[in-house]
Amino acid sequence: MITLDAISYYLPEETLTNDDLHELFPDWSVNKIAAKTGVIERRIAAKDEFASSMAIKAASKLFEEHKITPSEIQFILLCTQSPDYFLPTTACIVQHALGIPTTAGALDFNLGCSGYVYGLSLAKGLICSGDVENVLLITSETYSKHIHDHDKSVRTIFGDAASATFIKRNGHGADIRAITFGTDGSGAENLIVKGGGMRHPRVSDSEGTIPSPNGLSGTTLFMNGAEIFSFTLRSVPVMVKQILQKNSLEQEDIDLFVFHQANKYMLDHLRLKLGIPEEKFFVSMANCGNTVSSTIPIALKQAEEQKKIKSGMKVLVAGFGVGYSWGAGIIQY
């Protein structure tokens, strides 16, 4: 049995509140922002705070809160779409900073809102292979550094955060059961940062050679909200059905649904379309925003703290977004 034994997370100190956004964009009222997004404030990484530094803080909290020593760690998986560098791998920087043994493996993987679910499966696979006995799964994202100051549509949604999860063989935590995946690269350009890779080097933006559909800099995040919404309503219900079948369960067998915390508008539509009772649908983004790959672990941790998760419960986790990419799994507590 491969178990999820512990979760901790880190939120930056700086906040971007709805009052702040209203001052920047007077046509958007505080109430309108809250009603549509479900977010009151977002945490924003400082100028000198990056994926590595937030990952280090999240992992350090995990070690302290759960009495885990760095010397125990045998592999680091770090999910990020805002790495410190193209190379070296951010996970290598984190390994050194945390004092994790040089015998440990470490790698980054580039996924967004589905990243945590994928990470659970990657960790499970590594342990099942027999090559390692445990994995430190980290999600760390500074999407705010991708966002244009004048793009109010995404500034209202996204925040920065990092999480750290300890996964091991035959631990005392929750059993990670079967996981399912999905990919549709035809939607790649609906949530994209065009500038910065080899196809569109970031330096070219000063010459105006990186177009962006929203008229802003092509080196910043572009999101086609309508297309992302349509993709989500189309794909997530099918994914939920698939993961239930894969685990030989009915929807009524699930005690709690923890979806990627995209925004309130989208989650409300998904819950109603799937017919999930409100008391079984956990929402937790008001004080941090959409933190991309960190939303699910943060929500799981907060659900535990609020006694929404108890021993014996089955929790369905589902991530979906940029790629397009989606994944879901069952966690048995």
Active-site residue (options: 18, 79, 113, 263): 113
Residue 86: is it exposed, middle or buried by C-beta count within 10 angstroms (0-12/13-18/19+)?
Answer: exposed
Is 260 in the active site? yes
DSSP 52-112: HHHHHHHHHHHHHHHT--GGG--EEEEE-SS-S-SSS-HHHHHHHHHT--TTSEEEEE--S
Task: Supply the DSSP symbol for 245.
Answer: H
Q: Which two tokens stand for residue 291?
A: 């933190």
**Residue 298: partners with Cβ closer than 8 Å, 6 or more residues away:** 9, 161, 163, 261, 284, 288, 291
Q: Which two tokens stand for residue 217?
A: 């800099």
Is 113 in the active site? yes
- 3-class secondary-structure state, position 144: helix
Active-site residue (options: 18, 134, 190, 290): 290
CA distance 115 to 137: 10
Is 134 in the active site? no
Active-site residue (options: 79, 146, 190, 260): 260
Name residue, tokens 């809102």: 113
Active site residues: 113, 260, 290
